Amino acid sequence: MIRFTDVTKTYPNGTQAINGLTLTAPTGRITVLVGPSGCGKTTSLRMINRMIEPSTGMVQIDGRDVAELGAAQLRRGIGYVIQSGGLFPHRTVADNIATVPRLLGWSRQQIASRTAELMERVGLDHHLARRYPNQLSGGQQQRVGVARALAADPPVMLMDEPFSAVDPIVREQLQDEFLRLQSELGKTIVFVTHDIDEAIKLADQVAVMRVGGTVAQFDTPAGLLRHPADAFVADFVGRDRGFRALGFDSGITIRTTPEPSIEVGASLEQARAVAGSAAWLLVVDSDQRPLGWLEMAERSGVVQDQDLRLGGTLAVQGGSLRAALDAALSAPSKRGVVVDADGHLVGTVSAQQVLAEAERLPR
């Protein structure tokens, strides 16, 4: 557990970066600090590993005041990941990952075993071990940074905008990988970002900070979206917070409509017979897994993969209302395809059905 108790930070020029910060980051959970530039989120993070010392107040890890611990000893027990990885450019991937274990006096065999294990865990091919950071993509560098932070199996990890320097697709992949790792490892994580969408996706709890280093709201992602504390939080979270809040309404079984379908390879005559007057027909494989939508225009021959419109995401039965609504809105037929946990077709839902279900939920 990491606890800030009435922490302030005032610089010699009079600038107050943090003002009376009090919050607790629970053991084994992800706490995200989010806010505009200059709100003190990175300053707060760096107080945990004593890269910045507070002016007043106390920062504790598991009940121990970090000011009473030697800085070097403290940092070796905390994983630290920053933007662009912060890798040593003159060291190979393997040597970067081995940094803290070497400082702790691990044997060469232990280091080699741990390095190989972590490269596999974060999704890095073993052949990259002897490469240097400038020979890696941005996403690969970030994975090395995470592996290095995990090398000595620290109970605490600090992450300062670790995914902000990569493109949106890689960023989403890294976020998903990070959540997978956390589900396996259960670290106590404090994560800094300026991106509210990233905060909502990753956090167990979110601290929205104002310029001047005060907390405007400290809440769960769902609580933040549904009940912003004031106009500043509501504006920072964004006007589409109602739609994003549907992502937390999961485990709900929406009543689906049976959807006529044909298997790929069927004739267009068969397709027309099944579709009737409908403009779109769902095509599935032999295991009843949806492949795409067929537009019922004048054609000849058989239904092939290249005839299908792949637009439209799939919603999993019992998943979130947001996923179901997105499936309905993105499908060319405007009917969201719902599948079971194994990907087999269950039926379809309209946006109106999803919204009606959302209206019945308590707020």
Give yes or no for residue 67 having a pLDDT over 90.
yes
Angle at 161 between CA 157 and CA 162, to 5 degrees: 65
From CA 209, how far away is CA 224, in angstroms rounded?
13
Task: Provide mean pLDDT across the span 10-26.
Answer: 93
Question: Where are the domain boundaries for CATH 3.40.50.300 in the chain?
Answer: 2-239
| CATH 3.10.20.30, domain 261-359, yes or no | no
Query: Which of 85-99, 110-124, 229-243 has the weakest average pLDDT?
Result: 229-243
Question: Per mean pLDDT, which range of 54-63, 101-110, 239-248 is the poorest?
Answer: 239-248
**pLDDT at position 233, please?**
92
Contact 157, 78 (CB under 8 A): yes
Residue 249: predicted pLDDT: 67
Question: What is the strand order of the sheet 336-339 is part of?
Answer: 314-316, 336-339, 345-349
Instruction: Say how far apart CA 24 and CA 30 lie, in whole Å.
Output: 11
| CA 202 to centroid of chain Cα atoms | 4
The per-residue pLDDT for range 283-311, each reduced to its tens digit, is 999 999 999 999 887 666 777 777 788 77
pLDDT band per the 50, 70, 90 thresholds, residue 252: low
Phi, psi of 133 (to 5 degrees): -50, -40
Q: Tell me the C-alpha distance between 115 and 95, whole Å.
A: 9
pLDDT at 64 over 80: yes
pLDDT at 240 over 80: no
Q: What is the CATH number of domain 2-239?
A: 3.40.50.300
Judged by average pLDDT, the poorest of 53-62, 191-200, 313-322 is: 313-322
Query: 62: how many CB neighbours lie within 10 A of its CB?
Result: 11
Residues spanned by CATH 3.10.580.10 within the chain? 261-359
| Per-residue confidence (pLDDT) for residue 56, from 0 to 100 | 96
Question: What integer is the mean pLDDT of 222-239?
Answer: 87
- The residue ranking higher by pLDDT, 272 or 359, is 272
| Distance of alpha carbon 190 from alpha carbon 192, whole angstroms | 7
> How many Cα atoms within 13 Å fall on the side-chain side of residue 294?
32
Q: Strand 188-193's sheet: what is its strand order?
A: 78-82, 156-160, 188-193, 30-34, 205-210, 214-219
What's the length of the chain?
363
Does residue 362 have a pLDDT over 90? Answer: no
User: How far is the C-alpha of 264 from the C-alpha of 279, rounded, in Å?
Assistant: 17
The confidence score (pLDDT) of residue 269 equals 87
pLDDT at position 159 is: 94
pLDDT > 90 fraction of the chain, expressed in percent and rounded:
58
Q: What is the pLDDT of residues 104-149, one digit of tens each?
A: 899 999 999 999 999 998 889 999 999 999 999 988 998 999 999 9
The residue-averaged pLDDT of 150-171 equals 88
What's the mean per-residue pLDDT of the chain? 89
Q: pLDDT band at 250, cuts 50/70/90?
A: low
* Residue 173: pLDDT band with limits 50, 70, 90: confident
